[in-house]
Amino acid sequence: MTDDDRVFKALADPSRRFLLDLLFARDGRTLTELESELEMTRFGVAKHLRVLEEAGLVVVRRSGREKLHFLNPVPIRQIHDRWIDKFTEHQVTALIDLKRQLEEEP
C-alpha cells in the first residue's frame, strides 16, 4: 500500500475525520480526551488513531505516562498538491485569461 493509499483510507472514515477535526481544534490530546468526544469504545478510538498514525496524519508523543496525539497536516497537503491542485490549475488559468480579455475589450 502506498502512502497516498494509507491517507485516502484513513480519510475515508467519518470517525477518523472527526478525530482529525478534534486535533485541529486543539492538538496534544490524550486517548481519554478523544474517546470522550465519540460514542465508541476506547479500543475503537485507539484503533482509529492507529490507522491515522500509520497514514502519518497523527503523531504521538509520550509525556510521562500519557500519550499525546498531534495532527500532522503534511500528508493532507501532499494529497492536495498532487490530486486537487493540478485539477484546479486549468480552471484558474481560464478565469485569469477571461478576466484579462474582458479588461482589454473597449
Greatest CA span in the chain, whole angstroms? 71
Q: What is the pLDDT of residue 16?
A: 97
Q: Assess whether pLDDT exceeds 70 at residue 106.
A: no
Q: How many CB atoms lie within 10 A of CB 19?
A: 25
* Angle of the 42-54 helix axis to the 14-25 helix axis, nearest 10: 80
DSSP string, 11-58: HTSHHHHHHHHHHHHSSSB-HHHHHHTSSS-HHHHHHHHHHHHHTTSE
- The pTM assigned to this predicted structure is 0.80
Q: What is the pLDDT of residue 96?
A: 85
